[in-house]
Structure 1
Amino acid sequence: MNRIIISTFLIINIIYGINPPQNGNFPDGFWEKMRQQDIGQKYGDPGWVKKISNYINDPSRDTQLEFFVPVLLGKYADVSTTYFNASDYDQLLFGENPTGSMKDYYNEISYGNFLVDGTSGGWYESTLTMAQAVSNAKEYVAGIAALADDDFDYAEYDNDGPDNEPNSGDDDGYVDGILVVYSGCGAEWGSGNDNLWPHMSSLDAYEYETNDIGFNGSNIIVSSYAVNPELAGGGDCYTDIIRPMGVYAHEFGHILGLPDLYDRDDSDGNSAGLGEWCLMASGSWMGWAGDRPAHMSAWCKIEMGWIEPAVVANHETNIEIPQVETNPFALKIWEDDFHFSRYFLLENRQPVGFDDDLHGPGILMYHVNENRRYGPDYFSGGSCNDDESDKLVDIEEADGNDDLDEEVNRGDDGDPFPGSTANVTFNDSSYPAASRNDGTETGISVTNISDTDSIMTADILMRPKYGYGIAYDELGISSYGFGNSDESDKWGGVLFTAEDGGYLTEVDFGVRYSDSYWTAYIYDSFNGSSPGTLMDSTTGHSENDDWVTVSVDSVPIGEGQDFFVAVKYHNETYPVCFDKTGIQSNRSYYSTDGGVTYADYISDYGDANIRAKVSSDALVGIEPVAAVPSDIMLFPNYPNPF
């Protein structure tokens, strides 16, 4: 029986929601210890990831989303003294904190579109010692959740349904997330500390079924969690200083589904990723040890639905870019021919609000490759920023020193434009360059960048659209795979219909396993069970689980033509990844007989992660060297699948 699905990724490169160290790199053996506990395999609360996705795709959205979180103080069995109480954490996270609370922070960076609030309780004394909790964090968290059950109605913390009311019948029956405060200080603050490292994950086998009954009559379940330390300090805890809230804001960002935007892979060198320019990198440490965390990057704010970027659709002179701290504004300039997965993102950062400790003001230019993550349904999955040569989100450092990539620092006043080097030009000939990561020139330029101010200006030459992408799996790779448990060759395929005539020049598809071998096939037609004439094929190897982009030898495609793209996964179990939550197109097929005949089994569950890109001269609206017109066309960022 071939219609079998598996519900988890069996991969080596597991994703972790972990606060970066205060300084330097992660200690030797750190990532292996995390893998042994399966920390982070489920990243982001599933209900809230879906809620945010629906929020982003609603053009008429005008509702402030509300997230209510219980904060549970959990003391180890071998710790006799704690130094702060529940009311202290209510003030730190949700109250009148002198340097700003987590509630204040998220209200500011979301422009009032997101409210986080909650209640703290405890201390609750675990049956585990500190060493035992470090060895099994999930058991520790589940135990604290159980001890707090009599004090909390967990049903009031399940608010991931569309009506924005907790436990109203449209929620998923799971607490959206809990924050656990563990006694002592965090292991990520210097050396000499054997305590827990702050992280976000899910309880999996340790899921706790509460005593509280949800709207549908079932017991509410606790799964998504984050752990954070009680005290400031590392090797020596500062018993008179509560841990600043930056680490809480970072881990809470993971509960919402955001990935770490620093390098988590030691195998190919390290980079600081976005460094202290983004909460989801090391911006959680800004101010004094994180009491004034930096804003999220524009990319993160777009993912949360707090910014809808203005897409540059023509050349422009003297375009205004207001400061992002008080204006939900960012510019998006497509970099790839299909305006599909790669782009530059510009934001104006100024020392305002929680950004008041920035290294320097100016235009930050991000280079984004969406194929370094799985997609909106599981957008923390994939290599993200682990490969310093091809990141999900990269900063083009204006001074050209590559200090972030080389981990010389986590940000400086030379990173934004014009910056300390007075760089006012970004194009194919500059360094950093506006070229693609493989060195191909794009024709994009951002020039005449103004002096830093609350409103900055620049001239922009964009890259015209030379084709289009077809993606029926609009939410990308999920944590599910289709197939069976036999280690054998299996085929997944998608039937495409061309919108305009042109040439099929690229195919994207997902792979679930590192060290995978595959073959991609292009057919000119499909009759519902058998493909037509083979037009092209390519065999290759992928080192990582991720999206794969394959160049196709310009297969001609007519307007309205059906064509079929299939991928053979060599000797793998459950290899065909698919979008399980998007709108089903009923265009996905599966084969185990050598790709001779296909059945639409996958369509019962979702859309296979196979995408086509068609080059078409008919879509070129302007010449890349055309004269700069007097106005610009700005369009919303959807319905592009990202």
Structure 2
Amino acid sequence: MFSYLRTLLLFTGLFASSFAIATTMMAITEFELEISEGEFITVRSAGNAQSQWLETANGDIIVKRSGTWYLAEINSQNQALSTGIPYREGEVVPAEIVFIPDLSLSAALDALESTSVVSQSVAISSSDGVTQQPILVLRVSFLDQDSRYSSEEIHELIFADESSSSLSVAQYYRDNSYQKFDIQPVSETSGTVSDGVVDVALSYNHPNFGSSYGSSTSQLVSDALVSANSYINFSAYDTNSDGSLSSRELGVVLIIAGYENAYGGAGASEPRIWAHKSSISPITLDGVSLSAYAMFGEQHQSHLATIGIISHEMAHLLFSLPDLYDRQGDSNGIGRWGLMGLGSWNSTNGVSGSSPAHLLAWSKVEAGFINPRDVEGDAIDFSLKSATSDNDALRVWLDPFRHGEHFLLEYRALEGSDKALPGEGLLISHVDDWVGYGTAGLQNDVVEHKLVDIEEADGQDDMDLLENRGDREDVYNDAYGQDYFGSSSLPASVDYQGNSSGVEVAQIRVGDEVTGNLSLPYEQLGDNLGYDDGGVRAAWGSGGSVSLVEYSVPSDSRFAHGIDFYSYRNAVISTSLYASFTGGSVSNALHVSSSTITPGWNRIEFSSSLDLSSYSKVYLEITASADSLRAFGIDNMGDVSGNSYIKLNGSFQSAGFDFNQRLLVANQEDGFNYQIPDKLSFQEIEVSESGSSGGGGGSFGLFLILAAMLASCRIKLRVYAV
């Protein structure tokens, strides 16, 4: 079978490796655990989706195996491994532990973002510019586990408006989008008509898979969708009539009777599942196919699931937003300052997740909720309204072509759902686009070089050192004595190479607004032209493959200075820029060069700038050397621009994806005085010829997603290790 897949791979040239699971970090909860009959101890949950444990009041680590609690230790992979010694309160863990292999938990690949070859279409929008997002909620019960909460309570949790006494998921997204994104229930005939909730009773017992996603998870989703089909016309939501439903056309959410594993961790009651976003092998109902979903456990121990975890996974489902916690567990990422970090569990009333943090400004940019003010010049005075009241943020680019490192400034105030933040003031995020997200992105997994890092104003690096999940001294506030960020502050205003950024933020004052003075590195910025808006998702190309991307020349950026190109490989590429493209062929070359590239983003500067003022469009052709298999990074998420082409049989034909390629332009002829940034080391991605099956320990193999776009024919093939 694999020889056929490999042949297809070489023919189509498209390759992606990921596991279609995105999860939430667990809540840190403290509770009384019955360790044996009538004996209770105080414990707190700890760990992650792959490995969960409990910590006792005196610091012991314990795990449950076959009904018995054992002493455990944490290995270098952040896994809790049983010592085989039953826990007794007060008993000391011996200094030398011989780990028992069959009691260890295998690390799963469930922290990677999912990849889909199905283009996401824009959701239905009304004339006033508000996006209407249809959501179907499946309330799933089993022979041995009924739902505890009614459909009405589930409806309130997801869809309630501002008249409700408690915050709903819909309200949360209206607030974060500044009333421009509105979650709406689908039209269905189950129970209360068109409340968006369909009751599904499956004729088998709860699979109780916890975080061990596999065939039982996929079967549950498929069975629930089939059972719901008699209550909803799925084809009515295929707004672009392509025969498949993207999450933006219809978001599918499953609320599973039983308990949420991410809430209680190893101490969560059973039966349980771990909240996640993923995809199943497409199922066809009413003539359209469905694949993506988000799933949650109904109960957080003694109460209904809270909105934080649901909002987090729906951000994966609807916007492909990446996790901003550290998936390796080496730091706390952005901590409690954003929904995609650990802020999904924020609360003011002791119920974890009842008051989740707003999305960080960077996440709002990626979701399309805000368009920050790009500031340029020498120095400016600024003011910022709070993130909860206004779509206000400042972006200061360290890269003159606006693709790479930058700072985002936002005012986080203790109001709205942000009232559970650790503090209030000016929050400064250090972003590096080149770190990336998606299949190939490292996100926030490298402590020293994150995709999005919080500049902790007190210089203590508590979140990086796992000392806390955020405190009030992380923000700049004159009331805390932290009113300056610059070359002489701690942390200093530097890029990831340790060079002074040229950015100084002084005289910071916090009141109804945040005000201050901002010194900038560039009086005028260039720009980059590109269409890859969903991260690096897959690789394309066999030896000698040729790509072409069409760009419209902006009137205010007439000079081309170079390109940014993402590669999965060490490779040699030939770069050509043309002025004409007709009949599937290019002509009138403006530039030709050859470059050696490495895995990750590469910046290739032209030897001299090119004046494009005579052209309305230009065409970037890149040819990979004969030994450069799958050198091209591509984005097959979001809207496909239609401006990317691949060469087949000597002629360029439209691709069903966009290339990770940017044309660097500016309105100035001379180059910028800056240093091309260093980048993280990426491993070349290889195709594995063997797969593994998911087992009880949560171990997964990679799966392949292969696609070929040939003229008007789309070939889709998915192979899952489940």
- Same fold, judged at TM 0.5 (above): yes
Alignment partner of 1:138 is 2:215: no
Counterpart among 217, 221, 243 of residue 305 in structure 2: 243
Counterpart for residue 497 of structure 2 = 438
Counterpart among 130, 133, 144 of residue 64 in structure 1: 130
1:440 Cα offset (Å) = 2.2
Counterpart among 15, 21, 27 of residue 22 in structure 1: 27
1:474 Cα offset (Å) = 5.1
Share of identical aligned residues, percent?
A: 22
Q: Is the 8 A contact 1:160 1:171 kept in 2?
A: no
1:332 Cα offset (Å) = 1.4
Counterpart among 276, 281, 284 of residue 209 in structure 1: 284
1:480-517 deviation line (CA, Å, top 9, x unaligned): 65435xxx56565669899878794x6421234xxx32
Measure the CA separation in 2 of the matches of 1:363 and 1:198.
Answer: 32
1:602 Cα offset (Å) = 5.7
Alignment partner of 1:91 is 2:156: yes
1:144 is paired with a residue whose SS is: helix
1:36-75 deviation line (CA, Å, top 9, x unaligned): xx985336x966x5417x98xxxx9842111221211222
Counterpart for residue 610 of structure 1 = 661
Measure the CA separation in 1 of the matches of 2:563 and 2:105.
Answer: 37
Change (3 A) 1:583 1:575: same
Measure the CA separation in 2 of the matches of 1:7 and 1:40.
Answer: 21
Measure the CA separation in 1 of the matches of 2:136 and 2:657.
Answer: 34
Counterpart for residue 559 of structure 1 = 611
Counterpart among 174, 178, 182 of residue 111 in structure 1: 178
Counterpart for residue 230 of structure 1 = 298
Q: Is the 8 A contact 1:199 1:227 kept in 2?
A: yes
1:359 Cα offset (Å) = 0.6
Measure the CA separation in 2 of the matches of 1:387 and 1:276.
Answer: 18
Counterpart for residue 333 of structure 1 = 396
Change (3 A) 1:14 1:389: farther
Counterpart among 268, 275, 285 of residue 345 in structure 2: 285
Opposite residue 596 of structure 2, the aligned amino acid is T
Counterpart for residue 707 of structure 2 = none
Question: How well do the aligned residues superpose, as a CA RMSD in angstroms?
Answer: 4.1
1:309-342 deviation line (CA, Å, top 9, x unaligned): 1221334444211111011111111111223343
Runs of 4+ in 1 over 6 A off after TM superposition: 1-5, 493-503, 523-527, 529-534, 561-565, 619-623
Opposite residue 608 of structure 2, the aligned amino acid is P
Change (3 A) 1:367 1:46: farther
Change (3 A) 1:520 1:114: same
1:253 is paired with a residue whose SS is: helix
Question: What does residue range 519-530 of structure 1 map to in structure 2 within 5 Å?
Answer: 519-521=572-574, 528=586
Q: Is the 8 A contact 1:15 1:381 kept in 2?
A: no
1:348 is paired with a residue whose SS is: strand
Question: What does residue range 269-308 of structure 1 map to in structure 2 within 5 Å?
Answer: 270-287=330-347, 288-308=351-371
Q: Is the 8 A contact 2:526 2:665 kept in 1?
A: yes
Counterpart among 139, 143, 147 of residue 227 in structure 2: 147
Counterpart among 122, 128, 142 of residue 51 in structure 1: 122
Which moved further from structure 2: 564-573 or 348-357? 564-573
Change (3 A) 1:463 1:141: same
The count of aligned residue pairs is 562
Counterpart for residue 16 of structure 2 = 10
Counterpart among 141, 145, 149 of residue 75 in structure 1: 141
Counterpart among 598, 601, 604 of residue 652 in structure 2: 601
Opposite residue 307 of structure 1, the aligned amino acid is I
2:453 is paired with a residue whose SS is: strand
1:448 Cα offset (Å) = 0.6
Measure the CA separation in 1 of the matches of 2:537 and 2:655.
Answer: 16
Change (3 A) 1:146 1:498: closer
Measure the CA separation in 2 of the matches of 1:263 and 1:34.
Answer: 15
Q: Is the 8 A contact 2:541 2:630 kept in 1?
A: yes
Alignment partner of 1:404 is 2:466: no
Measure the CA separation in 1 of the matches of 2:604 and 2:631.
Answer: 21
Which structure has the larger Rg over C-alpha atoms? Answer: 2
1:286 Cα offset (Å) = 0.8
Q: Is the 8 A contact 1:481 1:576 kept in 2?
A: yes
Alignment partner of 1:459 is 2:517: yes
1:551 Cα offset (Å) = 5.5
1:188 is paired with a residue whose SS is: helix
Change (3 A) 1:496 1:227: closer
Change (3 A) 1:109 1:608: closer
1:567-601 deviation line (CA, Å, top 9, x unaligned): 63675654433456544447x6659xxxxxx9453
Measure the CA separation in 2 of the matches of 1:172 and 1:419.
Answer: 53
**So what's the TM-score if we normalise by structure 2?**
0.68
Q: Is the 8 A contact 1:271 1:407 kept in 2?
A: yes
Measure the CA separation in 1 of the matches of 2:106 and 2:115.
Answer: 16
Q: Unpaired segments of 5 or more residues in structure 2?
A: 1-6, 29-45, 52-78, 80-103, 186-195, 580-584, 675-722
Measure the CA separation in 2 of the matches of 1:50 and 1:30.
Answer: 39
Measure the CA separation in 1 of the matches of 2:181 and 2:619.
Answer: 44
Measure the CA separation in 2 of the matches of 1:159 and 1:117.
Answer: 16
Alignment partner of 1:181 is 2:284: no
Counterpart for residue 389 of structure 1 = 448
Which moved further from structure 2: 493-502 or 390-399? 493-502
Q: Is the 8 A contact 1:529 1:599 kept in 2?
A: no
Counterpart for residue 41 of structure 1 = 114
Measure the CA separation in 2 of the matches of 1:176 and 1:6.
Answer: 29
Change (3 A) 1:284 1:6: farther
Q: Is the 8 A contact 1:6 1:574 kept in 2?
A: no
Measure the CA separation in 2 of the matches of 1:390 and 1:271.
Answer: 12
Measure the CA separation in 1 of the matches of 2:642 and 2:231.
Answer: 43
Change (3 A) 1:427 1:30: farther
Q: Unpaired segments of 5 or more residues in structure 1?
A: 162-168, 213-218, 592-597, 624-642
1:613 Cα offset (Å) = 3.5
Measure the CA separation in 2 of the matches of 1:338 and 1:570.
Answer: 31
Opposite residue 275 of structure 1, the aligned amino acid is G
Measure the CA separation in 2 of the matches of 1:98 and 1:476.
Answer: 36
Measure the CA separation in 2 of the matches of 1:575 and 1:535.
Answer: 17
1:558 Cα offset (Å) = 3.7
